[in-house]
Structure 1
Amino acid sequence: MNFAVIGHPIDHSLSPIMHNENFKINGEDSTYKAIDIPEEQFHLIKEIVRKESLDGFNVTIPHKERIIPYLDEIDEQSRHLGAVNTVKITNGKWIGHNTDGIGYVKGLKAIYPDLENAYILMIGAGGASKGIANELYPHLNNKLTIANRTLDRFKNWSIDINAISLKEAERSLSEFDIVINTTPIGMKSESELIINLSNLDPDTLVSDIIYTPLKTAFLSKAEENGNTILNGLDMFINQGAESYKIWTGKEPNIKHMKKVVLKYL
């Protein structure tokens, strides 16, 4: 069987290393590759997938919402979120799923067990943010706060949240127990920050869903402040494991998936 991850840019992705190791450990004759598809070429997605003879694929930035019109079916979570990160191809039908949220929350609960009583600020309103927010929602006693550059992005959100601007987020940082960056800022730049962290409380857990680099400028700055930090590695591993289950119906070898990624990093 053949699988892939599509996105742009895509050269940073360690998904091929992770999934191919899982296939190897499980004795499967399957392949997984990264396919770069710029936004202006995305209309060719059907042709590209047919050419690659894919049985399924992951979708990453910036295509998680763009993929939906090309799907034959989407599961309830994806429909609710308006974002898809996993596509299974069955008898020519493209079926969309979203494993981002469950992948992230599993990792977060491991480091912050008292999630129910936390006041959480998420930064960004893209596909990953939607997936995480939806998965977090039933765990929380307090309303989730989400900050974005433009509040128009929240018009199609069905989750009851506090939507604020990035400037408001900077001013109120000290009010939150957990702060999560869900934007790609920090993936390329070693110094760029999505918001100023000067008002950050030292007891706040600071998280970034980026896993490469393992420590973004956002996390480095928080660590300098004495904060506990959490990168996106566990989210990456867990969402990949959930995708594998969707494609194959089998249990992945999560231990080896994480081991090979850490070895590479």
Structure 2
Amino acid sequence: MTRAILVTGGNGQLGTELQRCAWPDGYEVVAIDVADLDLTDTGAIAAKVAEREWAAVINGAAYTAVDKAESDVVTAWAVNAMAPAAFGEACAKAGIPMVQVSTDYVFAGDKAGAWEVDDPVAPLGVYGASKLGGELAVRTSGARHVIVRTAWVVSAHGNNFVKTMLRVGAERDTLMVVEDQHGTPTSAADLASALMAITLRLVEDDSAPTGTFHFSNAGPTTWAGFAREIFAQSASRGGASAAVKGIPTSDYPTPAKRPANSLLSHDAIGAAYGIAPRSWQDALSDILDELIGANK
């Protein structure tokens, strides 16, 4: 019997990579996006989960326009909080596990060092607050669940920091990039692999660890440091290159306040699932191989 995994956000970075993962024989990934399911319609969500015998649900869809969320509060909360609530309730009724993807934005960003999974949450804006609402909804839904917080997601697909730097770097000699926000880039492919491993355990082992975990790639940097590495690796492949001048966040005002520190601890996911992320530099190399080609 085929075990079908329902994946939301199918056209996004993570959804794309979940479909590219090497799932074991006997598993089928059914990826849907906004054209297939309106995430502001909780009744439609319940019907989607009830329409067939899913093995698990991975909710990778989200309202991720961080700045727009500040003025589009109701939609952000509908997608980021009420939709997970509906998925959680439906998964509980169906007796199937749910994997919810969350974000570093649930934290205030004011801690020195990496955030642990049980550190106090204090989101700075609507996006983080609505994603925290989704976490709380899933936790209280009664569904067996895993919540995975991540940060700074990039890939060869969609819109993200790597692709923006390559595009703008091809047009300008020098770029101004924020240097006082700290975190770790996350390869969508590496995140997808971690979510696949977790989902398989949840499906096949009723005693698999549940709760909240963090996943990003390994090693700290800043947005400016990330940009410099992108251009160094791009130049070695014959791609775009530009000088990067670090600037403070105050020189780049945005409607939504960003966490100053987004570093996520991997202790919990390592202890529970044996997942040890590789360096963000190695993950970036794979993305640039796909976008530009291998080193020349």
Q: State the TM bucket, normalised to the shorter chain.
A: 0.3 to 0.5
Q: Compute the TM-score of the two structures, normalised by the length of structure 2.
A: 0.38
* Higher relative contact order, chain-length normalized (CA < 8 Å, sep 6+): 2
Higher radius of gyration, 1 or 2: 2
